Structure 1
């Protein structure tokens, strides 16, 4: 699967990592697993690590369907969800720009892009130096 996630309750963050070629069906499965996870909750901050992405499926209609599915999952209780995309490579940055445009008009989601780990963690309010430190001791 091209996408995986870990909920880090001690930080109030969901860490999502894409690796290889991103398939929309993998994203749909991951969103479904996240919504069923006992530690998922509205308003959790999301860190989407695009550093290992090598490509993305080209289907804008399906992307919009996925974003609507994610928005439904995030909106619960009127909460707003911050999603920070870590996009350190030119390809990851291009992918993040497409994803950001797909959130236009959805007020429940605040999407941001950063190109450094420290900038990403700072936006999320985490005082750690790296993703490795953030993930230390998790599965």
Structure 2
């Protein structure tokens, strides 16, 4: 599995992409790298692309620990952090719904799921209609 992120400062956005089996240890490492990144900013919108997920590590306790770490970073400022999960497959949609429940009760995080790239980008207030176009314009 791989999880990668790319900060798109011009859009105030972080693009996160998962491929293969979602392994929590790799997600912890990627999140920690993002938290230390010099371009990381409070309130950066998050676009999480789950289209390439083929499996999910089943460890609910560690998943909640990861979500807690994320909540600490995302809630460390006065505004809200928007997270949009792109989940076009049944597996990715089920995963995103589980993760959304972990954000329940946190006013500082607005988390949404979309099943189309255009829908995810529209929720984030972006004009691009595909992730490829977004990543191309953010060079």
Q: 1:80 offset after TM fit, Å?
A: 1.0
Structure 2 gaps, min length 5: none
Aligned to 1:54: 54
Write the mapping of 1:59-138 to structure 2, written as runs, cut at 5 A: 59-136=59-136
CA offset digits 1:30-64 (Å, max 9, x no partner) = 11100110110110000000000011111111111
The answer to whether the 8 Å contact 1:63/1:102 transfers is no
Q: 1:9 offset after TM fit, Å?
A: 0.4
- Normalised by the length of structure 2, the TM-score is 0.95
Mapped to 2, the partners of 1:105 and 1:2 lie a distance apart of 30
The answer to whether the 8 Å contact 2:50/2:92 transfers is yes
Q: How many residues align?
A: 139
Aligned to 1:44: 44
Mapped to 2, the partners of 1:91 and 1:77 lie a distance apart of 33
Aligned to 1:20: 20
Mapped to 2, the partners of 1:47 and 1:91 lie a distance apart of 18
RMSD between aligned residues: 1.3
- Normalised by the length of structure 1, the TM-score is 0.95
Say which is worse superposed, 16-25 or 128-137, in terms of deviation: 128-137
Say which is worse superposed, 4-13 or 70-79, in terms of deviation: 70-79
Mapped to 1, the partners of 2:28 and 2:58 lie a distance apart of 15
3-state SS of the aligned residue for 1:77? coil
Q: 1:137 offset after TM fit, Å?
A: 5.9
Mapped to 2, the partners of 1:97 and 1:33 lie a distance apart of 25
